[in-house]
Chains A and B, each alone.
Chain A
Amino acid sequence: MTLTHYLVLAAILFTIGAVGVLVRRNAIVVFMCIELMLNSVNLTLVTFARAGGTLDGQVMAFFVMVVAAAEVVVGLAIIMSIYRTRRSASVDDANLLKY
C-alpha cells in the first residue's frame, strides 16, 4: 500500500459523493453525499500530510470536521423546516421556483 492508493481511494469517494449529489432525490441523502465528499477531502489532506512529513494537513482535517458539523446543524434545520410543511424531503417536490 503506497500513499497513492489512499489518494486514489479519496478521489473515488469524492466522485461517488459528487455523483450521489447529482442523482439522488432525497435531500438528506444528497446531504450525506456532500458529507462523503468532505470526508474524502480529509483523507486526501491526511495522506498529503503524511507524504510531506508535516502536520499541517492533519490540522486542516480538524478544521474541516468542525465546519462540517456546523453545516450539519444549519442544513438539517433547513431541511426539517421544509419537511414539516410538505411532509417530504424530496428535492423534486421543491419545484415552485423555476424558469
Chain B
Amino acid sequence: MIEAPDLSLAALAPLLFVFGAACLGVLVEAFGPRERRHAVQVTLALVGTLGGLVTSLLLAGEREVTAAGALAVDGPAVFLQATITGLGALAILLFAERSLDPARSAFVAAAAVPVGSPRDRELMTAPRVQTEVYPLATFAIGGMMLFVAANDLLIMFVALEVLSLPLYLISGLARRRRLLSQEAAVKYFLLGAFASAFFLYGLALVYGATGSIGLADIRAATTESGSDVLLVLGLALLIVGLMFKASVAPFHAWTPDVYQGAPTPVTAFMAACTKVAAFGAILRLLYVAFGTSEWTWRPLVYGIAIISMVVGAVLALTQTDLKRMLAYSSIAHAGFLLTGVIGLSPDGGGSGLAATMFYLLAYGLTTVGAFAVLTLVRDGDGEASHLSQWAGLARRSPLTAAVMALFLLALAGIPLTSGFTGKFAVFRAAIEDGAWPLVVVAVLASAVAAFFYLRVIVLMYFSEPAEDGPTVAVPGLPTTIVLAVTVTATLVLGIAPGAVLDIAEQAAIFVG
C-alpha cells in the first residue's frame, strides 16, 4: 500500500494558479480560433501570473514543508515567488506590446518557416504571431516558482528544466533578425543542457555521500558525520549548475550572446526572473543543506563573486551594443548578489538573506524597465541597440532619455535609486560577516561599472544626434504600464525603502 503524500493545497495555490493558466494556454493553442488567440493568451497569462502574485502575497507568514518534504513554503520562498510572478507579469505585458513595430509584434509569425524564404517575407508584416510564447513563458514562471521552493535536489532539478526548456524556445522566436535569435537559442540550449548535466552529477554524488536528496536530511548528515570528498565534489558541481543559470562568471559565456540575440521582451524576462529564481535556489541550497558545513563552499563562492564582478564590469566597458552591455552588467550584478550570499551566518541568521532578496527585487524591476526602454528606440531594421545610435537621444525624446537615465543610475547604484539601497544592504551584510576584502573589490567594481552606465547618459545628453538616427516609438498601453511601474518602484525603493526592507527582513527565515 502506497500512502499518498500530504499536499497542502493552500500553500501550493500560487504554483497551481500559474501552472493551471499555462495548461489552459496549451489547450487554447490547440483548439482556439487563430484570430482570437492572441488576446485570449495574453489574458490567460496575465490572470495566471497576477493570480499567482495575489495568492503568494496572501501566503505571507506561511511556514511549512509539504508534498512529502519536497517543497518548502516559507518566508524566502513566498517573497521570491511574489517577486517572480510580479516581474513575470510585467514581462508578459512587454510580450503583448503590438503597437511599436510596423511588423506588429516582437515575436515571429511562424517559427517553422525558414528564414529568408518567400513565405517568411510574406509573413513579416502579417498580424499573425506565434502565440505559444505566452503558455511557454507561463510555464517558465511556474518552473521558477517551483525552483525557489524546492526542498529536495530532485525537485530542484525538475524545476530547473521546467524553467529552462521554455526559455530556450522563446529566445529563438524573434520576428526581426531571426538568424541571431535562432543562434542565441542554440547556444543557450547546448550550454544550458551541459550545465544541467553538471547539476545532475552533483545531485548523484551528494546522494551517494549522504544517502538522501532532501535538503534537511543532507544538513543532518553533514552535521553528524562531517563532509567527505564525494560531498564536496557534489556540492561544487551543484554550484556550477546553479551559477550557470544565474549567469555568474566564469559560467557566463552564454549570457551576452543570448541577451543580444533573444527578442528584447524575452531578454527582459530572462534577466529579471531567471536571476531571481537561480539566486533563490542558490540561497536555499547553501543555507538549508550546507549551512553547517560552510567552509566547504564559502571560499568557492567568495572567489566566484570576485571573478564575476571584475569580469562583468571590465568587459562591459568594451561593449558597443546596449543589450550586450546590459548582459555584462547583469554578470557584474550577479557578483554583487553573491556578496550578499556570503553575508550569512551558519544558523541562517545574519542580514545576508534579507539583503539579497531585496537586491533581487530592486534589480529585477530596474532591468525590466531598462529593456522596456530599449524596445522603444527603433530604426527601419527593428530595435536600434548600437550605442552610437543613442547619441543625442535626449533631444529627440527628453522623456525616454530621462527614464533610461534613471534606470542606468539605479543599475550603477547612485543614491536615491533602488540600486543604491540594494547594494548598500548586501555590502553591509558582507561586512558584518567580516568579508571586507570582498566589499572593497565590490566597491571598486561598482566604480568601474558606473563609468559605462554614465557613458550612455553622457552620450544621450551631450552628443549631437545623428542625421539618420533612430526614432522613438510611442509606447502602447502595456509598455506604458511597465515603464510606470518600474520607474515608480525604482524611485520608491530608493527614497523610502524601509517598508520593503522590513518585509524582506521578516521573510528571511528558512524552514529547515
Which residues of A approach B to under 8 Å, CB–CB?
7, 14, 17-18, 21, 27, 30-31, 34, 37-38, 40-41, 44-45, 47-48, 51-52, 54, 56-57, 60, 63-64, 67, 70-71, 74-75, 77-79, 81-82, 84-86, 91, 94-99
Contacts and interface: CB of A to CB of B under 8 A. Distances in A.
A91 B179 contact: no
Contacts of B495: none
Interface residues of B, number: 43
Interface string B59-81: 00000000000000000000000
Contact of A85 (B182, B204, B205, B318): B182
Interface in B456-495: none
Contacts of A54: 211
Nearest to A38: B197
A50 to B, nearest CB: 11
Contacts of A37: 194, 197, 200-201
Contacts of B115: 85
A39 B76 CA distance: 34
A7 to B, nearest CB: 8
Contacts of B179: 85-86, 96
Q: In terms of DSSP, what is the predominant structure of the interface of chain B? A: helix
A6 to B, nearest CB: 11
Contacts, number: 122
B204 A98 contact: no
Contacts of A67: 157-158, 161
A73 B124 CA distance: 27
Nearest to A74: B165
Interface stretch (B183-191, B300-308, B373-381, B400-408): B183-191
Interface of B: 111-112, 114-116, 154, 157-158, 161, 165, 168-169, 172, 178-180, 182-187, 189-190, 193-194, 197, 200-201, 203-205, 207-208, 211-213, 256-257, 260-261, 318-319
Contact of B186 (A18, A41, A91): A91
Given A27-B186, A27-B190, A57-B207, A77 B114 contact: no
B183 A94 contact: yes
Contact of A96 (B161, B180, B205): B180
B143 to A, nearest CB: 12
Given A74-B169, A78-B182, 6 more contacts: A41-B203, A44-B204, A56-B207, A71-B161, A97-B260, A98-B257
B201 A44 contact: yes
Contact of B197 (A34, A52, A86): A34
B184 A97 contact: yes
A60 B161 contact: no
Given A34-B197, A60-B213, A74-B169, A44 B205 contact: yes
Given A34-B193, A75-B193, A63 B186 contact: no
B135 to A, nearest CB: 14
Contacts of B193: 31, 34, 71, 75
A99 to B, nearest CB: 8
A28 B439 CA distance: 44
24 contacts: A7-B208, A14-B201, A27-B186, A34-B194, A37-B194, A40-B201, A41-B197, A44-B201, A45-B207, A48-B208, A54-B211, A56-B212, A56-B213, A60-B204, A71-B161, A81-B111, A81-B182, A86-B179, A91-B186, A94-B187, A96-B183, A97-B260, A98-B257, A99-B319
